[in-house]
Amino acid sequence: MSKPIELLIENKNEILSVHDQNNGVTQKTWEVLLAEKKVVPRLDLVMKYNTFKQYLTLLILVERDLNRQKDEELSKLRQIISEKDDELQLFQSQLLKVKKEIPKLRQNSKNINGWTVRLTSKGYYNLCKSFNGKVESIYIGKILDEQKAKRKIAEKMSKLR
């Protein structure tokens, strides 16, 4: 013969379901479980009603505590998922902004008298142009001044001829 608590734990879902169907009345739950031998077989052989009543109370308390803990963990996980979703949406919006700006950056490439204006990583402007497979470069400075660039292009062209 098995122990009463083992039998209750093995069949806890069925027992708690019958208990809920009988509005939490322990006596009715006991009677229904005895009447329906298929739900919990050998119940009357393993324990008496007083034992069932005591263990059922404990089983209900433990089940409520486990459900409460499970609900708390689920709410924490939902909160974490929500925060991660918010971060993901923020990253996606930032990515869209960057994607929209890439064509603008490409369109901003400028030519002055056939020379390509380039902005270096340090923030300086250079002019570049290829002559017979060799790239010539002209330093402009931190500020792109077209008049200064045209003057330097004229100087460079006079040196190249």
How confident is the model over 111-128, as pLDDT tens digits?
A: 888 898 888 888 889 999
- In this prediction, residues 97-123 reach a mean pLDDT of 78
Domain that holds residue 126: 109-160
Using a 10 angstrom Cβ sphere, with 0-12 exposed, 13-18 middle and 19 or more buried, the burial of residue 127 is buried
Q: Are residues 98 and 147 in the same domain?
A: no
Instruction: Identify whether residues 117 and 56 lie together within a single domain.
Output: no
17 & 60 share domain: yes
pLDDT tops 80 at residue 102:
no
Same domain, residue pair 113 and 100: no
**127, 118 in Cβ contact below 8 A?**
yes
For residue 107, is pLDDT > 60? no
Sequence-distant (6+) residues with CB within 8 A of 12 are: 59, 63
Domain count, the chain: 2
| pTM of the predicted protein model | 0.48
> Domain boundary residue among 91, 108, 125?
108
Domain boundary among 70, 85, 108: 108
pLDDT-based confidence at 100, cuts 50/70/90? Answer: confident
- pLDDT confidence band for 1 (50 / 70 / 90): very low
pLDDT of residue 105: 57
52 and 116 inside one domain: no
